[in-house]
């Protein structure tokens, strides 16, 4: 178990002014139908966090709720048909790596029905368990944090 107390801060959305953040993101750990953890390796030419292992998701559009953004992004990036009822929220966090200026809504989604049609952004990587992901040399802090939360809830091994 990692100590993320200086890297990741949970955000109480009822107590914070979201306007204090430069950007809002929605992202998810994805578990495939065959129970593989699916993450993406960001390309080396990306402006932010090139070559890093991250979740799928992206920025919120104007007027969009986090869950709407997540469902849209998973469709755009994976071709996935996501039912909101199948998504588990882990709240929102902010990270040291962005100097706590970005708000990230974090989720877990299991593609139980095999709706993923491909990977249309960066490169997909599949893992059997959380330990394999955590051992990756360029896994982003929030990803490790979220994976451990998912494991603690029994969603992942």
Specify the CATH number for the domain of residue 109. Answer: 3.90.79.10
Structural domain including 110 reads 8-152
Mean per-residue pLDDT, 69-93:
98
Q: What is the DSSP letter of 148?
A: H
Instruction: Give the pLDDT band of residue 116 (cuts 50, 70, 90).
Output: very high
Exposed e or buried b for every residue in 126-155, given b needs 16+ CB within 10 A?
ebeebeebbebeebbbbbbbbbbbbbeeeb
- Asked whether residue 1 is domain-assigned, the answer is no
- Asked whether residue 63 is domain-assigned, the answer is yes
Residue 4 has pLDDT above 90, yes or no: no
- Asked whether residue 105 is domain-assigned, the answer is yes
Give the model's pLDDT for residue 49.
Answer: 87
- Asked whether residue 157 is domain-assigned, the answer is no
- Asked whether residue 2 is domain-assigned, the answer is no
- Asked whether residue 116 is domain-assigned, the answer is yes
Who contacts 52 (Cβ-Cβ below 8 Å, separation ≥6)? 41, 42, 138, 139, 140
Dihedral over Cα of 140, 71, 147, 123: its sign:
negative
Quote the tokens at residue 15.
């107590």
Look-up of token digits 């469709």: 75
Give the model's pLDDT for residue 46.
Answer: 86
- Which residue, 63, 67, 58, 118, is CA-closest to 90? 67
Quote the tokens at residue 5.
């107390």
Exposed e or buried b for every residue in 35-56, given b needs 16+ CB within 10 A?
ebbbbbbbeeeeeeeeebbbbb
Instruction: Give the pLDDT band of residue 1 (cuts 50, 70, 90).
Output: very low
CA distance 111 to 85: 12
- Asked whether residue 18 is domain-assigned, the answer is yes
- Asked whether residue 20 is domain-assigned, the answer is yes
Give the model's pLDDT for residue 5.
Answer: 58
Domain count, the chain: 1
């Amino acid at each position: 178990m990692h100590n993320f107390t200086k890297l990741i801060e949970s955000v109480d959305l009822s107590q914070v002014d979201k306007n204090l953040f430069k950007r809002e993101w929605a992202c998810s750990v994805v578990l495939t139908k065959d129970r593989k953890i699916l993450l993406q390796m960001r390309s080396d030419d990306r402006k932010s966090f090139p070559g890093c292992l991250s979740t799928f998701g992206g920025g919120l559009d104007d007027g969009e709720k986090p869950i709407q953004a997540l469902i849209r992004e998973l469709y755009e990036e994976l071709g996935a048909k996501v039912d909101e009822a199948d998504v588990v929220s882990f709240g929102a966090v902010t990270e040291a790596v962005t100097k706590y200026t970005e708000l990230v809504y974090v989720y877990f989604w299991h593609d139980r029905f095999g709706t993923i049609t491909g990977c249309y952004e960066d490169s997909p990587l599949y893992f059997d368990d959380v330990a394999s992901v955590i051992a990756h040399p360029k896994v982003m802090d929030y990803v490790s944090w979220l994976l451990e939360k998912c494991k603690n809830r029994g969603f992942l091994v």
